[in-house]
Amino acid sequence: MESNLENFSSAENSVSPPFRKKKNTLSDEYGDQSDNILHQEEESQLSLELAEASNQAPENSIKIFAAQCAQCQNWRLVSTKKKYEEIRERIQEDPFACEKAHEWNPDVTCNDPSDVSQEDSSKIWAIDKPNIPQAPLGWERLIKIRPKGNTQFADVSYKPPTGKRQRSLKDIEKYLADHPESVAQGVELSQFSFEMPTPLQKDYVRKRSQKRQSDAPHTGRTELLQLDEEAQHIDWAAASVLMSLDPAQPSIDRAAASAQGGPRDNNEDHPEVAQPKELQEPTTKPDSPPPAPTA
DNA sequence: GCCACCGGTGGC
DNA sequence: GCCACCGGTGGC
């Protein structure tokens, strides 16, 4: 992926403004299928890509951020986490559009294919919640993705200018009580959100009722990718952001694809084969998007 | 001793 | 049934 994206260490979220378009996915080529995914209301969204499962990147941090153009529904990589946060915070009132990407990708237009694809088997995608405010100055919002099979998809926390990570609103409350100076600087509870992203693969997270598969080592991201065969649909309509990890396994695409296609109305032609590319591969350069989409 | 991870559970 | 919070524990 691009170098730009590599900087990101954490993910954020995105928003999905209500749109009037009918398509919603990132797919260019398979645009249609994407429609199914988001179907109904189209909204623009943001997506994130998690760091590699390997040991290199900071754990399961999100590496790539993307936002969906409200007009063409294609996804555009966002140059920095900060920019991403800015977009996210106001995405509802100020929907993302390809034009906004000109700041870091001057030539991109709605005719260019999405910068990201869900097909990228090496990535795990998750949709983030909308309306998450930017972290207060000096604070950093962190999202740690848990390995597949956990009862929870991720852990959201905030790292204050000083002190340790805060894991909940209650923690924040306490922190603010103990740090009047922060309050004096304008930091308030409403600036924090511990909502976590939703994995595209529904079975990524273990249901309470199910036992963990003893055999399956929950190594983490790697497994993620492969699992779902069943269609797991995410409510794109409701979703706002996507994140992806990169497991070393191939075969994810399909899963991802099915996951997405799965959503309610799939009109796709072929259930399995169809691989909606909602997100195009990050591989693609942000700057030089491939040929035109088809929409 | 501190930090991060993971599981369990209470509350909605 | 799902989600968020929090405690326990293992690893560094």
Q: How confident is the model over A14-63, as pLDDT tens digits?
A: 322 222 222 333 322 222 222 222 222 234 455 555 433 333 333 456 76
Q: Which nucleotides of B are covered by protein (CB under 7 A)?
A: 2-10
**What is the spatial distance between Cα A260 and Cα A262, in angstroms, rounded to a whole number?**
5
Q: What is the pTM of this model?
A: 0.61
Nearest of A264, A202, A268 to residue A229 by alpha carbon: A202
Q: For residue A208, what pLDDT is reported?
A: 64
The 3-state DSSP class for residue A32 equals helix
Each residue of A253-271: pLDDT tens digit? 322 333 333 333 333 222 2
Q: For residue A96, what pLDDT is reported?
A: 87
Q: How many Å does it take to go from CA A83 to C1' C11? A: 35
Q: How many Å does it take to go from CA A169 to C1' C4? A: 10
Range from A26-35, A53-62, A218-227, A276-285 that averages highest in pLDDT: A53-62
A167, closest nucleotide (Cα–C1'): C5
Q: How many Å does it take to go from CA A96 to C1' C7? A: 41
Distance of CA A249 to the CA centre of its chain: 19
Please report residues contacting nucleic strand B, using a CB cutoff of 7 A.
A 59-60, 144, 146-147, 149-152, 155, 164-165, 208, 212, 218, 220
Q: For residue A98, what pLDDT is reported?
A: 92
Each residue of A118-131: pLDDT tens digit? 665 566 777 777 77
Sign of the torsion angle spanned by Cα atoms A63, A106, A82, A259: negative
pLDDT above 80: residue A294: no
Each residue of A145-201: pLDDT tens digit? 888 888 888 899 999 988 889 999 989 988 998 888 999 999 999 899 998 888 877
Average pLDDT, chain A: 59
A218, closest nucleotide (Cα–C1'): B6
A194, closest nucleotide (Cα–C1'): C4
Structure tokens at A95: 């929907």
Q: For residue A118, what pLDDT is reported?
A: 62
